Amino acid sequence: MSYRRLGDMVKFISNKNTDGNATVLFGINIDKFFMPSVANIIGVDLKKYKVVGKYQFACNRMHVGRDERLPISMSTFDYDFIVSPAYDVFEVITSDVLPEYLMLWFRRKEFDRQCWFYTDADVRGGLHLEALKSIEIKVPSIEEQRQIVAQYQSIANKIKVNEQICEKLEATAQALYKHWFVDFESVNVTTLQDYIITNPTLSLKKGDIANYTEMSDLSANKLSITKPIKREYNGGSRFQNDDTLLARITPCLENGKTGFVNFLSNDEIGFGSTEFIVIRPKSFVSPFWIYCLCKDADFRAFAISSMIGSSGRQRVHESYLLKYKYSIINEDMMNKFHKSSTVIFEEVKLLNNQNQKLTQLQSLLLSRLAVGEEEKRKITV
């Protein structure tokens, strides 16, 4: 196994979209994935943009100093697409290097640190092309590359499957909610005030260390809250297990950011962004019902329609949410819903925990790419 210069293994290419055949435009995010471009391309001549084909790489060297990482990704799409002309596009030119293996190397934190180190003298934080080419990469035998890629892919596939199961489970819970509480006409109507408490009183002293959840930990399409961290309490919303966190500010509310708290111990109090509304059930109401309510399109539309504020910082008032009109709920029906959805929410929690461990395993695998065989065996043992 030996280290080889990146520049010796790849060829930089600049195929322009001169015929205009490629119409899909992608950018690259800092997680090293292609994403739909956010650029305003009205009036822009896309024939000047660069074409990226399958197994070709694109990277953005402009902000490595700023971001402390190199946005780089490999296309696995079956079609050609275009990227900004400011990007570099390259492909592997040697048969003893797998593009997929190279992409794994680019995902290593150590690779990003190395790129960042090379930007040291550049006032704008850009990474020079020659510096990128000079980076050395450990290249094992092609067979070992295949094994490493296969291991990584199997973990990635498992994570993907778990995410798909979670999506289906959440959709099932939402369907149950809709079937039992939305899809019927009722003449007996009340308001949410009978069913929920907003921002329940919980006490944390300034300086206490507690689990903290920030806005970015909330997802727009899944209930699980990611990576809460321990932090000194200095104000903010406070919550406990089974509470639902609803983002109340523009554009987080419109985007649907909502989370279900299930990561604390019994009676533990966590805290989070001041821009959360904490919602808790009253009496016989299921906490899962609250989460499903917060994801319901009609309820969200009601919340969004009541946002007020200036300078683009519009918020919904918790007191307004309590005025939302709702059919009078049958307690037996709520109990049945709770029983059915408990299984779903527990399974989602389990799969989410599993995915966190699998993600850690992926990181471990990447960090071990540069470790020799002997050391690898020692780690495995």
- Enumerate binding residues for DNA (CB under 7 A): 12, 14, 26-30, 35, 37-41, 44, 60-63, 67, 71, 84-86, 88, 122-124, 126, 128-130, 199, 201, 203-204, 214-216, 235, 237-238, 247, 249, 251-252, 255, 273-275, 308-313, 315, 317-319
Q: In a 10 Å sphere around its CB, with 0-12 CB exposed, 13-18 middle and 19+ buried, how is residue 183 labelled?
A: exposed
Contact 348, 170 (CB under 8 A): yes
Nearer to DNA, 86 or 150 (CB): 86
Q: C-beta of 136: minimal distance to DNA in Å?
A: 19
Strands 209-213 and 270-272: parallel
CA-nearest of 359, 375, 374, 372 to 1 is: 372
Give the containing element (helix H, strand E) for 173. Answer: helix 142-177
CA-nearest of 86, 170, 75, 97 to 124 is: 86
The answer for 308, left when phi > 0, alpha when psi is -120 to 50, beta otherwise, is beta
Nearer to DNA, 247 or 285 (CB): 247
Q: C-beta of 198: minimal distance to DNA in Å?
A: 8
- d(CA 154, CA 172) in angstroms, rounded, equals 27
Q: C-beta of 168: minimal distance to DNA in Å?
A: 25
Nearer to DNA, 86 or 343 (CB): 86
Dump the DSSP string for 181-231. Answer: IISS--S-EEEGGGTEEES------TT-EEEEE-GGGSBSS-SPPP--EEE
Q: C-beta of 64: minimal distance to DNA in Å?
A: 10
Nearer to DNA, 189 or 312 (CB): 312
Q: C-beta of 182: minimal distance to DNA in Å?
A: 27
Nearer to DNA, 71 or 270 (CB): 71
Nearer to DNA, 135 or 334 (CB): 135
Q: C-beta of 279: minimal distance to DNA in Å?
A: 13
